[in-house]
Amino acid sequence: MTESNSVECVPKSIVRYIKENPHMAVSVALFCGGGLALQRDVTSLAGSLFGAGGALLGAWITELNKRRSEAEEKEKKETGAVAALAPELQHTIERVQYILDRSTVNFSCESAVESVKTNDQQADFRPYFPTLYPSASQVRDLPDKKVIALIRYYDSLNEISHYVDDWWEREGQLAVNIFNMLMHAAEKSLRLGLICVREFDLEAHFPPPHESYGTLTSRIERSLSHASQAHKRHLDRAEALDLKSGKSKEPMPFRKY
């Protein structure tokens, strides 16, 4: 068996462990060398090898304790950061869910044959923004995956806010189009919010007040389902009107982006 083949026979986990703990590996080698030297009655060499091996073993134990301590400290900081950022994250996600629900209601009313006006105001569709993110020191204690989830989700809140400011009662735009686009923006935001729900374990931090209320995830999925059904009803209604009038299909009052 060649040297390369013998190396391949060593489990990868052992090779990785040796690479991560060089002090321990060298220490073991020195102790083995000291044992061989002692068998050959080379006591002075054996003593030197045992001494060097003991020194490296002590250094490895110190390094191991340091790594363990740093890992525990890192985990403690991450847990604290999640606990600090979770409340406002939950608050903003519930607000987007409300925006989607109200957008769905308004879209359904506007798309009806005889449209019905609601009492919703522009302010009712503005999202809530976080106060701690991104300037709070706790953000730096989060792992990259959680930070990326927050960035993508909070950016989606800006999209909703800009759309509400730019398109609310815009001249020349049908209300059904405006609420349709607002629904899509809120749906996108909620799907990104679901990633944050998992990453920050919001279900465990904020359990529902009672079982019938449902978890945050189930409430979001219900809102997304209602929005999808509203779109389908609108498309079916428009298709039925086209067939009734005997006209060929014309472009819909809105485009689904």
17 and 98, same domain (yes or no): no
In a domain, 251, yes or no: no
Helix (H, G, I), strand (E, B) or coil at 214: coil
In a domain, 255, yes or no: no
Per-residue pLDDT tens digits of the chain, which is 257 residues long: 444 444 445 466 544 654 555 555 565 665 565 566 556 665 666 566 656 656 666 666 676 666 676 667 777 888 999 999 999 999 999 999 999 999 999 999 988 867 778 889 999 999 999 999 999 999 999 999 999 999 999 999 999 999 999 988 788 888 889 999 999 999 999 999 999 999 999 999 999 888 888 999 999 999 999 999 998 988 887 777 666 666 544 444 544 43
In a domain, 172, yes or no: yes
202 and 241, same domain (yes or no): yes
92 and 184, same domain (yes or no): yes
**pTM: predicted TM-score of the whole model, two decimal places:** 0.70
Kindly state the helix (H) or strand (E) to which residue 84 belongs, with its residue range: helix 43-111
178 and 237, same domain (yes or no): yes
Alpha carbon of 24 to those of 10, 34, 104: distances in Å? 17, 15, 63
Indicate the residue among 25, 43, 68 that finishes a domain.
68
Could you give the CA distance from residue 48 to residue 36 in angstroms, rounded to a whole number?
Answer: 12
64 and 102, same domain (yes or no): no
In a domain, 156, yes or no: yes
DSSP 21-54: -HHHHHHHHHHHHHHHHHHTT-HHHHHHHHHHHH
In a domain, 85, yes or no: yes
Among 197, 170, 177, 167, smallest CA distance to 97 is for 197
Range of the domain at 238: 77-245
Residue 132 CB neighbours (<10 A): 15
Rg of the Cα trace of the chain?
31
Could you give the CA distance from residue 39 to residue 237 in angstroms, rounded to a whole number?
Answer: 94
In a domain, 234, yes or no: yes
Number of domain units in the chain: 2
200 and 141, same domain (yes or no): yes
In a domain, 250, yes or no: no
108 and 51, same domain (yes or no): no
pLDDT of residue 169: 78
- Is 242 exposed, middle or buried, given 0-12, 13-18 or 19+ CB atoms closer than 10 A? middle
222 and 95, same domain (yes or no): yes
Share of the chain above pLDDT 70, in %: 65
8 and 107, same domain (yes or no): no
- The tens digit of pLDDT for each residue in 211-221 reads 888 999 999 99
154 and 181, same domain (yes or no): yes
Q: Write the CB contacts of 20 (distance below 8 Å, at least 6 apart in sequence).
A: none
Indicate the residue among 47, 68, 89 that finishes a domain.
68
Alpha carbon of 112 to those of 57, 106, 108, 119, 185: distances in Å? 78, 10, 6, 17, 22
Kindly state the helix (H) or strand (E) to which residue 74 belongs, with its residue range: helix 43-111
147 and 29, same domain (yes or no): no
